[in-house]
Amino acid sequence: MGALLLLMLAQSPQAPGDVAVVVSSRREPAAAQKVARALAEVLAPSAHVLSDDAAKARVAELGGVDPVTCDGARQCLSKLAELLGPHATVIGVDVAKAGRFQSCHIEAVASGKGESLLADDFTSDTKAFEAQSKQWARSFGERLQVKLSAWNQEIEAAKPKVAPTPPNPIIATNPEPVLVAPPPPPPPLLVEQPPPARTPAWVCTVVAGAGAISTGVLLGLGLSAKARYDNSVRTFLIGTDNASTLTWSQLNQTVDRANNELGISLGLGIVTALAATLALYFFLR
């Protein structure tokens, strides 16, 4: 069962950042160093582990305090984790001795979490402590790997998804020319012409009609006056000039009337004929 768990953890995603295993107190540093080395060996296949010496050097470069000054305090370990990076984990190993017994406290604190990923305590007789603590550290490391893997998955899931880059289109070299028939010409645009205006034709028709009526009336009056004149002429003696039965005033009036009305009717007749011709032209255009 233990071998199967180790195989699964080795295949699981690695820890999101550096994992520093440090001695976190001055009480029993030699015994704590042995537990820290055993724990680092378990975590090494699935994480980038910083040993106690490497972690101390790195913290010193970044301006942090020596981990042994934390005395196992969680808040101090959390600040060291934040100093090492946004996804770093610091595991503090604190060993103390009381009489013929030794106890060990291990706590893993992740950067930015504010709480421990995993913490546990172990107590044993001083003679059996070294052997039993290594076995206990291995068990703690296996459980911690599960926690680190879950944290790594949370971080990966929170990252923004990047759309895959579409593949470059395949461009054929020296493609054969494609002959495309030109589109047919558009049909001619037929614009319906409006019918020609008939106003001039109708005007000429009206003028011709009015002129014909007026011509007829004046012609009738002129012929009537001429007939009155003709009927008033008499021959009294053979071989003498003809004479009219009308008085001189009536004769002049009748002759003037006949001449005026016949002359006007002639002029109106000419105008009527011209108007009728124009009306016919406009209707047939």
Per-residue pLDDT reduced to its tens digit, 74-90: 999 999 999 999 889 99
- Whether the pLDDT of residue 4 is over 60: the answer is no
In tens, the pLDDT along 261-283 reads 778 878 878 888 887 887 787 77
pLDDT category, 236, cuts 50, 70, 90? Answer: low
Q: How large is the average pLDDT for residues 118-139?
A: 93
Q: What is the pTM of this model?
A: 0.53
- The span from the CA of 39 to the CA of 55, in Å, is 14
The length of the chain in residues reads 285
> Does residue 174 surpass a pLDDT of 70?
no
- Per cent of the chain over pLDDT 70 is 84
Decide: 106 and 21 in contact? Cβ < 8 Å: no
What are the tokens at 103? 């106890």
Convert the pLDDT of each residue in 15-32 to its tens digit. 678 999 999 999 999 999
Identify whether the C-beta of residue 92 lies closer than 8 Å to the C-beta of residue 70: yes
Question: Which of 60, 55, 59 is closest to 40 using CA atoms?
Answer: 55
pLDDT at 175: 62
Tokens 């003809």 label which residue?
A: 242
State the virtual CA torsion across 257, 263, 265, 266 in degrees, nearest 10: 160
Res. 100 pLDDT band, cuts 50 70 90: very high
Q: Who has greater pLDDT, 36 or 265?
A: 36
Alpha helices for the chain (secondary structure H): 2-11, 29-43, 52-61, 74-84, 126-158, 199-232, 248-284
Question: pLDDT grade, residue 219 (50/70/90)?
Answer: confident
- Over range 212-230, report the average pLDDT: 78
What was the pLDDT predicted at 241? 58
pLDDT, mean over the chain:
82
Residue range 41-63, pLDDT digits in tens: 999 988 899 999 999 999 999 99
What's residue 220's pLDDT? 81
The 3-state DSSP class for residue 60 equals helix
The answer on pLDDT for 5 being more than 50 is no
**pLDDT of residue 258 exceeding 70:** yes
Amino acid 83: pLDDT: 93
Please tell me the predicted confidence (pLDDT) of residue 121.
Answer: 95
